[in-house]
Amino acid sequence: MTRAISLHDVSKVHTRGVRVVDRLSLDIAPGEFLVLLGPSGCGKSTVLRMIAGLEHITEGELRLDGEYANDLAPSGRDIAMVFQNFALYPNMTGRDNIGFPLRIEAPGADPGPRVDATARMLGIEDLLDRFPGQLSGGERQRVAMGRAIARHPSAFLMDEPLSNLDAKLRNHLRAEIAKLTRQLGVTTVYVTHDQAEAMSLGDRVAVLRGGVLQQVGTPRSVYALPHNIFVAAFIGTPRINLLRGLVRAPLDGAMTISLGKQALRLPEPHSLDHKLLRVQQGREVIVGLRSEAVRIATPADARPGETHITGLVEHVEFQGHEVLVHFNTGSRLAVVPELEAPRPVQRPPRRRRREGGVLDRLRKGAGGLRTGAVDVLDGPSAQEGPLASPEARPLGDLVVRTTPDFDLRHGMQVPLLVDIAHLFVFDQHGERISPAPARLPDLDE
């Protein structure tokens, strides 16, 4: 038996009013593998502990198979949890650790057959008579997983179970977890900050930031259509290129997005998404380009929907099967200092100063209508911290993924083709405006 898990406007508020999780709503179908993804400190583990009953839910409802479960004791939820730090009893062998919850549930029954069956499933038969201190990290995690599996629970909760392991072992166990959960068909909620784990394991991925759900969807949809700039930058390797752009949409000329010294010309006839960009005429936006959205080729080789720019090679990263090339295109980087923070930075309110008169107030209002509020977009003059020094600035402004066939050296000028179909445009608040959201705003609202 597997279990449906539903969270309805669930919040967790600690002392002094700190909201660790803020009005989270999420439905997990029976047998689904859902990954909670986000930076450290964004509330992922707190959500997991609230589902398990280890944390009290301050606001909202948790429902298990449609039944209200906020006040249900952890032992009554039929849920097994795998912790990041293994949580094995050091004075018990692997066999005793796996069988311990079975002895608690049914004191008179023999846990041996289920322990042996679980050990065969995980391939740890030779580890059953060893103590945790005699096991490696990967072996301990297998025993910890065996303890959860042997219970035959209706749901698994996994709190970054692979984060303490080395990269090679992590990849191996990741494949084992995917295989096991498919075989068992049990609802699984998996917490991680590693996007590679999230994209390879999950049926769906839920991205959190500051306790707020940013986006939920299949790994493919979250990567291909991020709702906002945080999701776009958090998912994808190498990180998405973020550039400052200015929309130019003259009535009698081509529509372009200026990137500084060069511009992206939008192909004609304009798509609906690009027509909607006319609203941003004269406004600064943030342009997002994945490394695979740009290729090295001459204008003569352009396919429909591609536009031409040039780049100066700044750095070449050879990675065997592919090469990451850092170009200087004369574009302006979109510096978003708080982008990687687990929660948005609370900025102190500005002190209001007295205006000189009615004309000053009208100028201020007109400027606000023209440019909008700037929440996440910082210009070069506003750069602070490590990006302010020339030595620490990133190499180039555009990273392109290509094959090892090209012989590229520092200082070479190279023709580039940008696939406009894979162009993201975000407004100054970081929300995606192209491709347009599925639900367009109602002007009457």
The answer to whether residues 208 and 126 belong to one domain is: yes
pLDDT at 267 over 60: yes
Query: Which pLDDT value is given to residue 357?
Result: 56
pLDDT at 351 over 60: no
Residue 41: which pLDDT band, with cuts at 50, 70 and 90? confident
Question: Does residue 382 form part of some domain?
Answer: no
> Which among 177, 207, 229 is the end of a domain?
229
Residue 383: which pLDDT band, with cuts at 50, 70 and 90? very low
Residue 380: which pLDDT band, with cuts at 50, 70 and 90? very low
The answer to whether residues 57 and 104 belong to one domain is: yes
The answer to whether residues 283 and 313 belong to one domain is: yes
pLDDT at 381 over 50: no
Question: Does residue 387 form part of some domain?
Answer: no
- Range(s) of the domain holding residue 123: 5-229
The answer to whether residues 304 and 186 belong to one domain is: no
Residue 385: which pLDDT band, with cuts at 50, 70 and 90? very low
pLDDT at 371 over 70: no
Question: Does residue 388 form part of some domain?
Answer: no
Q: Which of 140, 151, 83, 144 is nearest to 117 (CA)?
A: 151
Task: Kindly report which listed range (51-55, 122-126, 241-245) carries the lowest average pLDDT score.
Answer: 122-126
Measure CA 186 to chain center: 24
Higher-confidence residue: 148 or 253? 148
Residue tagged 């859902």 (tokens): 34
Q: How many domains does the chain have?
A: 2
- Alpha carbons 294 and 292: distance in angstroms, whole number: 5
Query: Which pLDDT value is given to residue 339?
Result: 61
pLDDT at 399 over 80: yes
The answer to whether residues 196 and 270 belong to one domain is: no
- Alpha carbons 191 and 38: distance in angstroms, whole number: 9
The answer to whether residues 207 and 323 belong to one domain is: no
Query: Which pLDDT value is given to residue 91?
Result: 94
* Across 198-219, average pLDDT: 95
Higher-confidence residue: 368 or 425? 425
- Alpha carbons 28 and 11: distance in angstroms, whole number: 17
Query: What are the tens digits of pLDDT across the range 83-128?
Result: 888 889 999 999 999 999 899 888 888 899 999 999 988 889 999 9
Question: Does residue 249 form part of some domain?
Answer: yes
Query: Which pLDDT value is given to residue 250?
Result: 85
The answer to whether residues 156 and 249 belong to one domain is: no
pLDDT at 221 over 90: yes
pLDDT at 364 over 50: no
Higher-confidence residue: 362 or 20? 20
pLDDT at 251 over 90: no
Question: Does residue 378 form part of some domain?
Answer: no
pLDDT at 15 over 60: yes
Average pLDDT taken over every residue of the chain? 85
- Alpha carbons 299 and 297: distance in angstroms, whole number: 7
Higher-confidence residue: 10 or 170? 10
The answer to whether residues 155 and 120 belong to one domain is: yes
pLDDT at 33 over 50: yes
Three-class SS of the chain: CCCCEEEEEEEEECHHHCEEEEEEEEEECCCCEEEEECCCCCCHHHHHHHHHCCCCCCEEEEEECCEECCCCCHHHCCEEEECCCCCCCCCCCHHHHHHHHHHHHCCCCCCHHHHHHHHHHHCCHHHCCCCHHHCCHHHHHHHHHHHHHCCCCCEEEEECCCCCCCHHHHHHHHHHHHHHHHHHCCEEEEEECCHHHHHHHCCEEEEEECCEEEEEECHHHHHHCCCEHHHHHHCCCCCCEEEEEEEECCCCCCCEEECECCEEECCCCCCHHHHHHHHHCCCEEEEEECHHHEEECCHHHCCCCEEEEEEEEEEEEECCCCEEEEEECCEEECECCCCCCCCCCCCCCCCCCCCCCHHHHHHHHHHHHHHCCCCCCECHHHCCHHHHCHHHCCCCCEEEEECCCCCCCCCCEEEEEEEHHHEEEECCCCEEEECCCCCCCCCCC
pLDDT at 365 over 60: no
The answer to whether residues 182 and 132 belong to one domain is: yes
Question: Does residue 444 form part of some domain?
Answer: no
Q: Classify residue 32 as left (phi > 0), alpha (psi -120 to 50) or beta.
A: beta
Query: What are the tens digits of pLDDT across the range 318-340?
Result: 988 899 999 999 999 987 766 65
Domain of residue 205, CATH code: 3.40.50.300
Query: Which pLDDT value is given to residue 340?
Result: 59
The answer to whether residues 291 and 218 belong to one domain is: no
pLDDT at 212 over 50: yes
The CA–CA distances, whole Å, from 224 to 303, 374, 398 equal 20, 25, 19
> Which among 179, 195, 229 is the end of a domain?
229
